[in-house]
Structure 1
Amino acid sequence: MKHTTVVAGLEVQVFTTDAFKTSTKPILALFVLHGRLGSTESENVRSLITTVVKAAGEHEGEKDLMIVAFDHRNHGTRLRSKAANLGFEENDNHASDMYSILAKDVSFLIDFLESYLFPAAERRVVEWGVAGISLGGHSAWMVAAADPRVTLVVPIIGCPDYLGLIEARATALGIAIGPPHFPDSLMKVLKAKALTALPYRSTAGENPFLGKKVLVLSGGSDPVVPWAASRAFVEGLEVGPRGSKEVKVFEGVGHAVGQGMVDGLVAFVLGDLACGRMF
């Protein structure tokens, strides 16, 4: 089932199983975010959503699944400038343009979506998750680090190290890491907001991934978001004894959502639905 609502001018699509309407179970709300140059109508996004919802409908769990999708800023129904979504070859502002749209609306929707969907508190979302493809995968990492309410994270062909990824992309094209492609003001923001995954026993600061369930799905032959850009962060990521981390790197797979990635996401979500309430 698909339901469309508008939250503060943002069109939001909600996908549920047929049984969801009459159920009273607690809810896992999973955002599924599309990639750059795509939208909620992209084939890989719709196929992924359809597959996960179908599997959830055939699965008896302790929680119900609700998938939430929306267009990233300057994409789909929100497109204002096609040029701003292009890479360095055609867009000097690529580093700024891509970073500035990442993950901006997920926490906003977590704040308000329940009041639109369940105004009389008919249902309760007890867990929030984010899965994303490419640009959506970058966003999944960022929102998981920034928002403690997000406890389930599935970056698909995405990267947690935006600065390292974008610098490598520029260097490969012979672009200097400095103005005009990398303004000083942008570099300050990127360095200040760079993700960290501190050891869970560290006294240096709080690790934002503690207790979270993380599934990383990457292509071993991805030329756009290479696994090498994510490896150090992911391998060093600590989620503590209450969290979980699973990493799947699919050899021979490029910048695409392979069947193994879809199967991995389905198994991960079904396993979470089988668990009881989370508060």
Structure 2
Amino acid sequence: MVFGIKNKKSAKKLSKQDAPQHSNGNANATARHHGHQTNQHADADPGLTAAPPSFKYGGNVSKRQFDIAGLPVNVFGIDELTPAPSRASAPQPPQVCVVIHLHGRGGSADNEEKIARQLHDRIQRDKDAFQQQHPDAAAYQRDHLVVTFDARNHGHRMTNQLGQQAWKQGNQNHALDLYGMIVGGARDTSFIVDLLAPYLFQHDERTVAEWVVTGKSLGGHSTWHVLANEPRIRIGVPFIGMPDYNRLLNSRTKTSFVTNGPPYVPGSLKSLINQIDPSVVDHESFDPARNPFWGKKICVLSGAEDRLVLWDWNEKFLKELVVGEPSGPRGEMDGLKIHRYSGVGHEVTESMVEEAGEWIWRWGVAGQAAR
């Protein structure tokens, strides 16, 4: 477990004003008939007045849109996958690691495309660097994709704009709406795990061997639910998120001057929280049969100056959390990393995304070869 690692001075907030990308990715021109391709380098519509967006990282990475039984998802990196062989006797292409990224409250998948592209780009840079040092690495490093989608009541799925707001903005149902979006994001993630591979690889030409979840703020809260409840996902990176909804409610009801009870927090909601929240599972147990976090690889990235998602909502849980047997003189668990970035508030910086990409490459793409 790593606490309080020194923040890199180069960390800065991701913004639309980022300089043009510096990507090592090279897009394959081969089209796939069942996905719609979008790329900022495509010919511009003459009716458009705004320039296509540019990205500092991963700007050349392909982006395709798929409709997964009514849920539109964006898939980054399909064209960059190792080509599948045309002969049955040829060596099979590498297995695939899929990273599912969940966006923040009030945002959308499009708002966080820069995070998705940087994650893909960082993983690719780590793969390339490792292969330069180990020429045979291509034989055991996995291919990778990054997937995004709009959360419930966000983006194209918007049904009630007030439902994104808090009590102070007039939304009496804030506690219900927020928890519903948190839980809904986690369940949508499991839905994608169920059905993405059949939609992407309809000829069984590839196998998804590893699933990863990352999420920002609201998406970070959902990430904890995924890690607690989805056994098929063992790697996760919650950005500026928290695992304890009861602590969030205790704090926010006080600062919003509302009752932590009906009608703002109905007893039925509290009952649900106490059944399914990550904070109420046996996260401190050394019994793998009881602890759903056992064996998982979790990198927690937060801002030390975050005033929206308070560290107090994380601290007790993280001190208790067990993901494996401790080792070394300090009793650390190599599957758990906690980094609070000094001088950073409620934001995801480039340095955070770089750290997340390295973590995903280490545990999900390179595997034993990198350890």
TM value normalised by structure 1: 0.93
Matched position secondary structure for 1:159: coil
The answer to whether the Cα contact below 8 Å between 2:64 and 2:78 also exists between their aligned partners in 1 is no
Counterpart pick for 1:163 among 228, 246, 249: 246
- Residue matched to 1:25: 94
Q: Which runs of 4+ in 1 moved over 6 A?
A: none
1:12 aligns with 2:112: no
What displacement does 1:17 show? 6.5
Residues of 2 paired with 1:5 and 1:187: CA distance? 36
Aligned CA distance change for structure 1 residues 216 and 254 (closer, same or farther; 3 Å) = same
How far the C-alpha of 1:19 sits from its partner, in A, is: 3.1
Pair 1:174 & 2:253 matched: no
Cα distance in 2 for partners of 1:202, 1:215 equals: 21
Q: Which runs of 5+ in 2 are unaligned?
A: 1-61, 85-92, 129-136, 326-332
**What is the SS of the residue equivalent to 2:64?**
strand
Aligned to 1:207: 291
Give the corresponding residue for 2:354: 263
Q: Does 1:85 align with 2:176?
A: no
Q: Which moved more, 1:46-55 or 1:220-229?
A: 46-55
Q: Corresponding residue for 1:132?
A: 215
1:152-182 C-alpha deviation (Å, 9 max, x unpaired): 0100000000221122111112211111100
Residue 277 of structure 2 corresponds to 194
Query: For residues 38-187 of structure 1, what are the structure 2 equivalents within 5 Å?
Result: 38-42=107-111, 45-58=112-125, 59-60=127-128, 62-89=141-168, 90-102=170-182, 103-187=186-270
- Residue 323 of structure 2 aligns with which residue? 239
CA distance 1:39–1:64, change in 2 (3 Å): same
Q: Distance in 2 between matches of 1:210 and 1:182?
A: 32
- Amino acid aligned to 2:221: H
TM-score (normalised: structure 2): 0.70
- Return the letter of the residue paired with 2:367: C
1:276 Cα shift? 5.4
Q: What is the identity, as a one-letter code, of the residue corresponding to 2:173?
A: N
Superimposed CA distance per residue, residues 237-266 of structure 1 (whole angstroms, 9 cap, x where no aligned partner): 100149600000112211001232122112
Query: For each residue in 1:168-224, what CA deviation from the matched residue of structure 2 results, as whole angstroms up to 9, or x when unmatched?
Result: 111112211111100111111111112234334259x61000000000001111111
CA RMSD of aligned residues (A): 1.9
State the one-letter code of the partner of 2:324: G
Per-residue CA shift, 1:26-45, capped at 9, x if unaligned? 11111011000000011xx2
C-alpha spacing 1:267/1:17, structure 2 compared with 1 (3 Å): farther
Cα distance in 1 between the residues matched to 2:250 and 2:164: 17
Partner Cα separation in structure 2 for residue 5 and residue 18 of structure 1:
14
CA-CA distance at 1:104 after TM superposition: 2.3
Gaps of 5+ in 1: none
1:229 matched to 2:313? The reply is: yes
| Matches of 2:78 and 2:360, distance apart in 1 | 14
Contact 2:214-2:220 at 8 Å conserved across structures: yes
1:37 aligns with 2:117: no
Deviation string, structure 1 residues 111-142 (Cα, Å, up to 9, x no partner): 11111111121111111110000000000000
Letter in structure 2 aligned against 1:274: A
Amino acid at match of 1:26: Q
What CA distance in whole angstroms lies between the structure 2 residues aligned with 1:276 and 1:11? 34
Separation in structure 2 between the aligned mates of residue 250 and residue 6 of structure 1, nearest angstrom: 37
Identity %: 35
Indicate if the aligned counterparts of 2:286 and 2:322 stay in contact, CA closer than 8 A.
no
CA contact (8 A) 1:160 1:230 kept: yes
Contact 1:30 1:130 (C-alpha < 8 Å) held by counterparts: yes
| Residue 274 (structure 1) aligns with | 366
Q: Which residue type is aligned with residue 214 of structure 1? A: I
The number of aligned residues is 274
Select 1:254's aligned residue among 319, 328, 345.
345
Residue 271 of structure 1 deviates from its aligned partner by: 1.5
Kindly provide the amino acid, as one letter, of the partner of residue 39 in structure 1: S
